[in-house]
Amino acid sequence: MSTLSLQAFQDQVSELLLRHRSLIDVLSKTGQAGASVNRAVSKAITECGCIELHATKQKYAPESDIAQSKGLLETHVEGELCENCKEVISSELGRNLFYMSALCNLLDINMEEVVNHESQKCSTLGMFNLS
């Protein structure tokens, strides 16, 4: 299985996107796709039950160093996604990427450059990156 580059994916989306060429349409579809990801994760918790959410206040000690603090922080997720929920969430994430790519195309933004810039920012700022 070959790995598709972000640029190749962005080009593919550009060729396929016929119906939603308006920036307003793509913005609304991007928001809808994000909401669908959230809904699919929520269903994994509330309908399937393969994962559970146990959210509590994070146990962060100001006197701890960064490595110790990272070990204390929790995801609040217990369990693992079943194959069905993983497939549904992956599909929704894919749709989210599709519309994000469409948005990049309409605004003449290169996704690979965005990812590279963000990666460089993460490398430079390290633990101080607030994204």
Task: List pLDDT tens digits, range 81-105.
Answer: 999 999 999 999 999 999 999 999 9
The answer to whether 58 touches 74, Cβ cutoff 8 Å, is yes
**Residue 130 pLDDT level (bands cut at 50, 70, 90):** low
For the record, the structure tokens of 22 come out as 């308006």
What three-state secondary structure class fits 71? helix
For the record, the structure tokens of 12 come out as 């593919």
Higher pLDDT pick, 65 / 42? 42
Residue 55 pLDDT: 87
CATH no. for 8-126: 1.10.287.1080
**Residue 76 backbone zone (phi > 0: left; psi -120 to 50: alpha; other: beta):** left
Higher pLDDT pick, 130 / 7? 7
**Residue 11 backbone zone (phi > 0: left; psi -120 to 50: alpha; other: beta):** alpha
